[in-house]
Amino acid sequence: MGLGAYVAVSAALFALGLIAILSRRNVIYILMGIEMILNAANINFVAFNRFGSMQLDGQMFAVFTIILAAAEAAVALAIVLNVFYLFDSVKPGEADLLRE
């Protein structure tokens, strides 16, 4: 398999993540779309590193992105649970009131 196959899989994953973000009205699905976009970036990092310089730069960026995605998922899940507790819904359009 060449670099083109990895880039094609990454582009498909990015497109699916973007479609999930734009079409869904549920915060959980939006977060899943963000995770898919971050995984597409990881595939690109590792693939370009594999077919490029053969140093560990791509893997280090991928590990950093995985750590960032884990932290983002934990914080976002806490926010979603708090919004569900306050508004009884996880739809982003229904949580539009400001609290005093």
Give the CATH number, domain containing residue 41: 1.10.287.3510
As for how many domains the chain has, the answer is 1
Does residue 96 lie in a domain region? no
Does residue 66 lie in a domain region? yes
Does residue 100 lie in a domain region? no
Does residue 98 lie in a domain region? no
In this model, does residue 2 exceed pLDDT 80?
yes
pLDDT tens-digit map of 40-54 = 999 999 998 888 877
Residue 62's CB: how many other CB atoms inside 10 A?
19
* Angle, helix 27-50 to helix 3-23, in steps of 10 degrees: 170
Determine the 3-state secondary structure of 96 from DSSP.
Answer: coil
Domain that holds residue 86: 3-90
In the predicted model, what is the mean pLDDT of residues 79-83?
Answer: 85
